Structures are given as C-alpha cells and as structure tokens.
Amino acid sequence: MSILLQINNLTKSYDIEPLFKDLTLSISSNQHIGVVGRNGAGKSTLFNIIMGLESADTGEVNVHKDTTIGYIRQQDNPFDLSETVMGFLMRSSGKEEWTCAKLAGQFQIKKEQLHREIGSFAGGYQMRIKIISMLLKEPNLLLLDEPTNYLDLSTLLLLEQFLQNFSGSFLVISHDREFLKRTCKQTLEIAHKKAFYYPQPLEEYLKHRAEQDEFARRYNKKISKQQRHLQSFVDRFRYKASKASQAQSKMKQIEKLQTITINNPANTAVIHIPQIIDKKGVALSVDNLSIGYTDTTVAKNITFQIDRGEHIAIVGNNGQGKTTLLKTIADILPSLSGSFKWGMKIRIGYYAQHVPNMLNPKDQIQTHLEYTAGAGVSDQEIYQMAGNFLFSQDDLKKPISVLSGGEKARLCLAGLLLQKNHVLLLDEPTNHLDFETVEALAEGLSESNTTMLFVSHNRTFVNNIATSIIEVNDGKVYRSHHDYENYVYHLKEKLHVEDMLDKNTSIPTNEKKERRIETRKKLKEAKKALHKVEVKTMELEKHKQELMDWFSAHTNTFSRIKQEDLAAVNHDLHEVEKEWIKAEEAVGVLEKNLQQLL
C-alpha cells in the first residue's frame, strides 16, 4: 500500500486552547475512512489544513506527488447557477461531452437533464453535480466534509453505492451512522487534541472503545484497591522504627501504581423531552390544501389527518415540497387554497434548517436559552436542558460567536425544547450534529408524547422516531401505506441500488436454514392474507355491479338507500385496495427474501 498523505506533529490553536496538538496521521491507498468526533473537535479544520485553506501553528502536511485530492464542502458552489449541467462539467473538468455524460449517468442525471440550468435543480441534485465534477478530475483521495447534509435520500443512496465501489481512498466526515456503516472500512476519531485511527468500521471501533473503557475502569478499580491497602500499611507503621523501612518500600510501590486515563468523552448527551398532558383526538386536519408560492404551485389537493402523539416523517426528494409543507402548516407561508386546522389550544414549535445561522453572535448561551424559553421556565430547567445538550455551567457564559455549527444547532434545539410545545415541526434537525448527539436526540424524541412532523434524511434518526410517513412526490402529498424501512427498500429498487452491506454479509448455514423455514412460514401466512383480501374485493365488486345494474334499470327512480349503499361500497373498496397493496407487497418482499436464502 502506497502512502498518499502524511501529517506530522500538527498543532492548531484558536486563542490559547489548542484544537489539536502534535497530531500525526498517515493515509494509504485503498482506505475508506469514516471521520468522527464531537462538534468543535477539529474535523473540518483538519480538512482545511490539508487543502491549504487554513495554516497550522506547527507541523507539516506532505501530499505525495502522485496523489490527486478531490474535496467537497457543503457550502462550496463551484458553478454559476445559470450554467447548464453539461457546460459546467466540461468547463470544470476539461473532459469531452461523452465522458461527462457517462459519469453523470451513474448519478441518475441523463439526457435532457444535462442541458438544463443548474439553478433549476434542487439541492440534492446540485450536490450530485458537484460530486460528478470532482470525480471527473480522477482523484485518488477524496475528502468529503458532511456530504450527507441536506441530501435527499435518493442522492444519499447513489453516493453510498459509489463510495462502496470507489477504488481510491477517502476520508468522510458524517453525522449519519448508517451512512458511515455502509461506506467506511476504517475509523478515525478526532478527540482530545489527537487523532485515533482504528483499522475497522465504526461499529467495531465503538465496541473496541467500550471494551477499552471497561478494561480501564476494572484496572483502575484494582489499582485503587492496592493503593488503599498499601496506604493503610504506611499510615499504620511509618513511624515505627521496626517497620519504617517496609513503610518506605510500600510508599515507593504506591508511586509506581498508575491508573489508566480514560480519554473517551465523559459527557454523553442524554436528552429528556418534557412530557405534555396526554390528550387524545386530532392534532391537525388538512383539507384540499394547495401549497407553494405566488407564481408556483408546489403541491395541491392535499388531504390528511394527524392524531395527537403521532411522530410523522415527511419523506421525498429535495425540491418536491417537504419544507414548503412544513412552512405552510407552521403559518410561515400562506396557503394557496384549501385549509388546515390545528386542534384546540395547541402550541407549535418550529425548527428550520437556517435557524442556527440566525443566532445573535453577541448573545451568551444562557441569555439565548432564557429568552427562548420564555416565562414560567425555571433556571433549574434551563441548566438541565443545557446539560442535556452538553453545555456545562462554564459554557453558559460563552458568546454564540465562538460556537461551531453543531454547537449552534444544539443550542437552538435546547431552546426549542424548553418551550414545552404540544407540536414540533422539525426541518433537518440533525444537520451538523455529531452522531452521538443525533442518537440521543432520537431516543429522547421517540419516548416523547409530543406530536411531531419532521424532515430528515438520517435513516437511523427516522427509524428510531417515525410511527408513520407522509410522502411528498410529483406535486402530491399523502399518508403512505409504507413504513420507513419499506419506503427505503422500494426507493433502492427504483434507483437500482444494490445493498452491498447485505450482499457482503455472510450467513452461517444453520442460521440460513432456520431463516428459510421462518420465511416460508411467513410467506404462507402472507399469501393466505392476500387471498382473503382478494375474495373480499371480489365480493364488493360483485355487490357494486349489482347496484350499478339497478341504477341502469331504474334511471328515473331515486333511492337514498341505494345511493348510501353505493357510497359505502366505494369506501370499502378504497380501503380494501389499500389492504391489497400492503398484502401484495408483503408477499413480494418475502418471496425475494426467500430467493436470497436459497
């Protein structure tokens, strides 16, 4: 394996406190490395120093002469929005049109899309274009700083598939645990002013770290016990002439007994969401709503109902209207037509993607939390919520100007949760948060009885919280019959994305046999359920035809009973159609699972 990049004794400080000190790191060919660490630990700064965008205080970065680096930052826009996709790709890469088109096709940008202006695409597609432009330069080392932020799920799945098959090396900073799990073979943690490299994926690294911590705790407990035993001997006999030499020897033994420093973060976010009075009934009714802007209708004919306590994930590609829907029901955007109605005495909290950037940099953390929380919230509640989001007592006096992007996001969420709202509308709340905080937030939200509608492309986060999903696609918004896992599965099928993680996971023969037996059993039950639905459908269709025949034979006769009967049959047919779709898809999934186990 050849060395692509060597970092020696790197030190970087802001003010007096060093961000990292004497950091040393070597990157070789064929390494797929996930970079993790707390917000503010210096991950992005390290990338900037490698690229020469920031200078280190001491140390050196040596890039091998055969190394070509591809670098993507979320905030970079290397194109003019009025450029066409093909025009930009050819200009930035110097490559021929067919070469650009071939690579763009891997990211599902084809044919007429190549000749559209970049500004006409949503953020997820613009990120695809940035990735394609970078790859056309044929880098053998990628530095990807939070590439998953704001990505729609389709683009995320395509990026995953590409990275799984990438022949070069990459370092990727991401808060998305599922993404790191599926793309990275090694782990690099930036923490405690150092870089800790582990030659295994994230899950194995976390397990290793936990084992090391547990070993250190047991060892320290043993050493402390020995120290106490020796110290009691010293205290008892140090002034007795006959035992003085032994006491001196024991004192030297005490000095040699050293405990192991446990460097891993002592502070882990534990986020408790204040419970609200548990009420039943409808939280939100939406009736024939149209959303969008003065000159553009984004979606129309929207009708659905949300019950109190539901946790609804709003899913769909970027640019389809997820944020527009949230803004409309939050009364930030006016609706174009139709109506929506919140339940009685419901207080609504809204978190937008741009909120962390709108904080007053001169405010202190405590000042912001006190102002945001409002009347009736005690100082103790403010201190507790600050601690939940890893702000210590000393941190409360910090000005917002010194906070990292992740710390600002944590502060905004802490302030929002202090308000004890009945409904939370959350637009990408996990962006910029480290994955440990993301998972703590997901755990807290999942246990809350607050009604939630949220947009997120972080699969771990959505899976942990969502009780149902609303899909936004092609101008339509509707309650989906899929759960989130099925939604992701069908999206992969649509994009022809292989699940490399599952494909590369070997299953022992005995376990495979047991799974086959269990899957066949479930398939038999699913087919039986499907048959019952089909029989029910046939009976309803027969009854409907009988009613239609009656109406044809009695064109001049009005029967309220027959009209109501027909309306009931149509309603039942609509409901049973949903049942049929679910049952048919369940059979299809089980048949595919069985095929993979044969």
Return d(Cα 102, Cα 89) in angstroms, integer. 12
Say if residue 260's pLDDT is above 60. no
CB atoms within 10 A of CB 175: 26
| Confidence label for 497 from pLDDT (cuts 50, 70 and 90) | confident
Q: Which of 221-225, 403-407, 493-497 has the lowest mean pLDDT?
A: 221-225
**At which of 205, 222, 251 does a domain end?**
205
Note whether 473 and 588 are same-domain residues: no
In a domain, 362, yes or no: yes
Over range 395-409, report the average pLDDT.
86
Cα angle for residues 66, 71, 73 (degrees, 5° grid):
170
- pLDDT (tens digit per residue) in 273-292: 877 887 888 999 999 999 99
CATH number at residue 332: 3.40.50.300
**Is the pLDDT reported for residue 505 higher than 60?**
no
pLDDT in tens, 411-467: 999 999 998 899 999 998 988 787 778 888 888 899 899 999 999 988 888 988 999
Q: Is residue 440 part of a domain?
A: yes
Q: Are 299 and 290 in contact (CB under 8 A)?
A: yes
Q: pLDDT value at position 581?
A: 75
Residues 175 and 88 reside in one and the same domain: yes
State whether 485 and 511 are in the same domain.
no
**String of DSSP letters for 88-111:** HHHHHH---HHHHHHHHHHTT--G
Is 215 within the bounds of a domain? no
pLDDT tens-digit series, residues 444-459 = 899 899 999 999 988 8
Digit-coded pLDDT (tens) for 88-106: 999 999 999 999 999 998 8
218 inside domain: no
- The residue-averaged pLDDT of 3-14 equals 91
Which one of 189, 205, 221 terminates a domain?
A: 205
Same domain for 552 and 457 = no
Same domain, 323 and 410: yes
Run of H or E including 490: helix 484-495
Confidence of residue 363 (pLDDT cuts 50, 70, 90): very high
Residue 591 CA, distance from chain mean position: 30
**Strands of 186-191's sheet in order across:** 69-73, 141-145, 169-173, 32-36, 186-191, 194-198
Please check whether residues 309 and 176 belong to one and the same domain. no
Domain assignment present for 412 = yes
Q: Is the pLDDT of residue 190 over 60?
A: yes
* Final residue before a domain boundary, out of 205, 230, 245: 205
Domain identity same for 534 and 478: no
Provide the number of structural domains found in the chain: 3
Q: Could you tell me if 330 and 460 lie in one domain?
A: yes
Give residue 432's pLDDT.
77
For residues 111 and 166, membership in a common domain is answered with yes
Task: Give a yes or no: residue 220 inside a domain.
Answer: no
246 belongs to a structural domain: no
In-domain check, residue 242:
no
The pLDDT value given to residue 543: 87
What is the predicted pLDDT for the residue at 96? 93
Write out the residue range of the structural domain in which residue 477 sits. 282-495
Report, as an integer, the average pLDDT of 136-140. Answer: 93
Q: Alpha carbon 531 to chain centroid distance?
A: 39
Which pLDDT belongs to residue 15?
67
Residues above pLDDT 70, as percent of the chain: 88
